[in-house]
């Protein structure tokens, strides 16, 4: 059966043509209104038009940034910049973003909930001319500037939170943290009235929601790493699933790794030395035979860890993400105020297992940030790794990194991270999680990693139109080869 050619092969050519085929717009007038306070969102189709997002720059600017193009899940292309130096000079407004404690304190008595996820994100915010010129980026066709808020700007989350709160000011029964909104009511009728008012205001403001991420009129809802319901707030089972479902060790080395993690978490396990004695004895046994009694001991230890794992402190300013990568898995755990509060692990696919160790270690950071997104987004996070070369790679501009590393680094742009090195012996929990990982993989992490830039074999002198013709011929040849 014949397949349909993927959109990205076509959209890449269309995007290049639409963005850079605009020499007639060579003057940089200030005809756009800089008063964007009343304009949070525009029509979604307009936001996908490159001419709405960018404009050519012909005058000197104090700043310019490197450009990176990323393919999205639907096959379309997203323009990104690498504003590392710019972020160092931006004065972040530090708009107060509510914590989960702030939200849950207002939900007493609520029994019906709806979760909404705002669509289009930062691109919905129109920049003033002065701000737009700060977002200038360089291309092979000259310099362009973003007219709307691009990804990676350190103050974006503060501004987006402010705009969202302003948009729904005066309404009752809702809370917003960045682009996640929860609507609640003590009765079904009260909930429905509040939800109708929210949706009506969203229609007036032009705000749209991601239907696939919304949940309507439910008794329990996952919100920022916790499960909220009429009975109160409970920890999300996903945060301790990596411990609950951790497989039994299959060899002496894996058992030693497991015991290293258990000793690190000793404060969560009463009478640890008594409980793990038979496991310690097994490390010296020859041959190594894992039996049913060992499984029961391990289950008891895991139960102690899980039942004593504290809640994440959302008001904490001391948050650490510790990650590690083995040859076949990734591990990550979250530390708040010195206490381990959440665990995560996943296996690597056969393709991912062929990544270099540096790529795997960086992939572990991406995995940890994505898995613990609701805990990490909007706050400064210290990331700990046992791979020292990552410090140098992350400190350099994105455009200087290899293609796959570029795509991984771009996924970290929404987060405020600082990287530090610690020897593997000092991070036993992440090490154990990466070796005794869950058997499932997360395909969403691979969406932007399986697209490769073709190697440049030689330089040829071409103008813009010759380049587009060559690109079109190459794309057509690729389509014929793969889909004939």
At residue 282, the 3 state secondary structure works out as helix
DSSP 59-113: S--S--EEEEEEE-TTS-EEEEEE-HHHHHH-------PPPHHHHHTT-TT--EE
Note the pTM of the prediction, 2 decimals. 0.61
| Residue that the structure tokens 């003057």 belong to | 27
Predicted confidence at residue 463, as pLDDT, reads: 58
Residue 103: phi and psi, rounded to 5, are -70, -50
Query: Which segments within 165-287 are labelled E, that is strand?
Result: 174-177, 180-185, 215-218, 220-223, 226-229, 232-235
At residue 143, the 3 state secondary structure works out as strand
Which run of H or of E encompasses 385? Answer: strand 380-385
How far is 69 from 84, CA to CA, in rounded Å?
16
Mean pLDDT by 10 residues, the chain (484 residues): 42 40 41 42 45 77 79 65 84 80 79 87 82 86 86 84 90 88 93 93 87 89 80 70 84 89 81 85 88 90 80 75 92 87 88 92 92 82 93 84 86 87 89 81 55 45 60 67 57
Predicted confidence at residue 185, as pLDDT, reads: 93
How far is C-alpha 220 from the chain's CA centre?
24
Give the strand pairing for 65-71 and 220-223.
unpaired
Which run of H or of E encompasses 426? Answer: none
The contacts of residue 67 (CB under 8 Å, 6+ apart) are 79, 80, 81, 82, 137, 138, 139, 399
How far is 235 from 200, CA to CA, in rounded Å?
33
Predicted confidence at residue 420, as pLDDT, reads: 92
């Amino acid at each position: 059966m014949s397949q349909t050619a993927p959109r990205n092969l076509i959209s890449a050519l269309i995007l290049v043509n639409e963005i850079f085929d605009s020499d007639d717009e060579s003057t940089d007038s200030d005809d756009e209104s800089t008063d964007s306070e009343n304009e949070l969102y525009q029509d979604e189709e307009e936001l996908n038009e490159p001419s709405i997002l960018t404009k050519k720059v012909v005058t000197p600017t104090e700043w310019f940034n490197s450009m990176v193009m990323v393919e999205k899940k639907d096959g379309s292309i997203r323009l990104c910049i690498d504003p590392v130096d710019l972020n160092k000079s931006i004065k972040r407004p530090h708009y107060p973003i509510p914590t989960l404690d702030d939200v849950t304190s207002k939900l007493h008595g609520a029994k019906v909930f709806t979760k909404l996820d705002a669509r289009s994100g930062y691109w919905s915010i129109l920049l003033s001319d002065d701000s737009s010129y700060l977002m200038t980026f360089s291309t092979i066709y000259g310099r362009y500037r973003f007219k709307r808020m691009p990804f990676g700007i350190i103050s974006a989350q503060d501004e987006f939170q402010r705009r969202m709160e302003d948009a729904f000011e005066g309404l009752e029964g809702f809370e917003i943290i960045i682009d996640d909104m929860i609507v609640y009511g003590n009765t079904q009728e009260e909930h429905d009235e509040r939800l109708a008012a929210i949706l009506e205001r969203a229609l007036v403001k032009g705000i749209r929601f991601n239907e696939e991420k919304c949940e309507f009129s439910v008794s329990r809802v996952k919100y920022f790493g916790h499960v909220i319901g009429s009975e109160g707030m409970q920890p999300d089972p996903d945060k301790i699933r990596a411990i609950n479902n951790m497989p039994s060790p299959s060899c002496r080395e894996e058992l030693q790794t497991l015991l290293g993690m258990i000793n690190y978490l000793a404060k969560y396990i009463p009478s640890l030395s008594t409980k793990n004695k038979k496991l310690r004895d097994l490390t010296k046994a020859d041959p190594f035979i894992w039996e049913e009694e060992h499984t029961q001991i391990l289950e008891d230890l895991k139960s102690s860890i899980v039942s004593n794992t504290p809640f994440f402190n959302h008001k904490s300013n001391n948050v650490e993400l510790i990650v590690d990568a083995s040859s076949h898995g990734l591990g990550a755990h979250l530390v708040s105020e010195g206490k381990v509060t959440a665990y995560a692990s996943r296996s690597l696919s056969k393709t991912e297992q062929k990544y270099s160790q540096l790529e795997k270690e960086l992939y572990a950071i991406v995995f940890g940030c994505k898995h613990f997104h609701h805990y990490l987004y909007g706050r400064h996070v210290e990331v700990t790794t046992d791979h020292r070369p990552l410090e140098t790679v992350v400190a350099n501009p994105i455009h200087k990194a290899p293609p796959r590393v570029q795509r991984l680094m771009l996924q970290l742009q929404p987060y405020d991270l600082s990287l530090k090195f610690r020897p593997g012996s000092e991070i036993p929990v992440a090490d154990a999680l990466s070796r005794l990982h869950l058997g499932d993989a997360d395909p969403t992490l691979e969406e932007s990693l399986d697209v490769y830039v073709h190697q440049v074999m030689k330089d040829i002198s071409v103008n813009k139109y010759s380049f587009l013709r060559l690109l079109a011929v190459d794309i057509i040849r690729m389509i014929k080869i793969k889909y004939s």
